[in-house]
Homo-oligomer: A and B are copies of this chain.
């Protein structure tokens, strides 16, 4: 059961509500986000929800039987929109496009990509400064200095930044320079990291685990939400299957499934999802038709010289064509949606 409390609920009223929940033997978790206060009550006994519905101090109440609660669309039917400032929002009614290199490599590289993005109307740039790598002997990213440089150039050009955070101790130093914190596929169930990202007031994009289920992704989002932060994006980025013809199996089924289960925006990453340059465009367009709220892909002036992931990175001509087609495809999708 989710109970949303009135904004300025008197403490006496709140105490009384909590007492009545305890009376039916339910366990309570108090959740305070940047927008509202909630009580999550979990238990097994049957009870009459009307008993609570009319209590003073309760703004809204609903029974949600999923393992995830506050991120469920059963609780909040209206899609969530994430505001990045400067008129840039993500969610319902528009297609978010995020592009950039796998790794931030140099000032020249960032400048070249920022120019490309501006020319094509892309306002969010991706780029890693902390890189999770299977082997300890490979390039692990430019770190916080790289991020500062990345930020400086983007800020001057009105571009927002999404970049991966790998551990709790990085959150604070990264905070001033980041518009969206990305949680990578290897950290989807790094619960301590999710807990801490719940305490900040910036958007968090959680990638689906390498073989994570859709329900696990939603439970991970629930960690951030119940930690106090409602600004969450979900990202499908390919799952691990027996098929070896592509790097991963981009699971577009996840898009309509997630759109029904949750009110959070759903982003698709075709670069990691299929992992081969030639197939990124068709999969990105397919993702839009499946209902995605945004696309994140890798682009680089010279993919063959990129420090990492070159084989799945678009060059600028491919990227330019993709942006146009994404917008046309999204326009048709919206049009067909209106008509029904």
A residues neighboring B (CB under 8 Å): 27, 29, 40, 42, 67-69, 132-137, 166-169, 186-187, 189-193, 195, 209-211, 213-216, 219-220, 222-223, 226-227, 239-246, 249-253, 255-257, 260, 273-274, 278-279, 282-283, 285-291, 321, 325, 328-329, 332-333, 336, 340
When the two chains form their complex, are residues B252 and A243 in contact, meaning their CB atoms are under 8 A apart? no
Enumerate chain B residues within 8 angstroms of A222, measured Cβ to Cβ: 135-136
| CB proximity of A238 to chain B, nearest CB, Å | 8
Instruction: Pick the contact of A192: B167, B191, B256, B285 (CB < 8 A).
Output: B167
Cα(A226)–Cα(B137), bound, Å = 9
Cα(A134)–Cα(B187), bound, Å = 13
When the two chains form their complex, are residues A246 and B240 in contact, meaning their CB atoms are under 8 A apart? no
A-B contact pairs, 18 of them (CB 8 A): A67-B135, A132-B191, A134-B189, A135-B219, A166-B192, A211-B211, A211-B242, A214-B245, A215-B245, A239-B241, A241-B241, A241-B251, A245-B257, A249-B249, A249-B253, A253-B283, A282-B290, A283-B290
Instruction: Pick the contact of A211: B192, B240, B289 (CB < 8 A).
Output: B240
Cα(A195)–Cα(B130), bound, Å = 14
When the two chains form their complex, are residues A213 and B336 in contact, meaning their CB atoms are under 8 A apart? no
Cα(A243)–Cα(B240), bound, Å = 10
When the two chains form their complex, are residues A249 and B245 in contact, meaning their CB atoms are under 8 A apart? no
Enumerate chain B residues within 8 angstroms of A216, measured Cβ to Cβ: 134
Enumerate chain B residues within 8 angstroms of A273, measured Cβ to Cβ: 253
Cα(A221)–Cα(B75), bound, Å = 43
Enumerate chain B residues within 8 angstroms of A29, measured Cβ to Cβ: 136-137
Cα(A327)–Cα(B245), bound, Å = 30
- Name, among A67, A137, A190, A274, the residue most crowded by chain B CB atoms within 10 Å (CB to CB): A137
- Name, among A133, A251, A255, A328, the residue most crowded by chain B CB atoms within 10 Å (CB to CB): A251
Enumerate chain B residues within 8 angstroms of A246, measured Cβ to Cβ: 253, 257
Cα(A227)–Cα(B213), bound, Å = 32
The 8 closest A-B pairs by CB, nearest first: A211-B211, A286-B290, A286-B286, A186-B189, A285-B289, A167-B192, A286-B289, A256-B279
| CB proximity of A54 to chain B, nearest CB, Å | 25
When the two chains form their complex, are residues A190 and B190 in contact, meaning their CB atoms are under 8 A apart? yes
Instruction: Pick the contact of A132: B189, B278, B340 (CB < 8 A).
Output: B189
| CB proximity of A89 to chain B, nearest CB, Å | 23
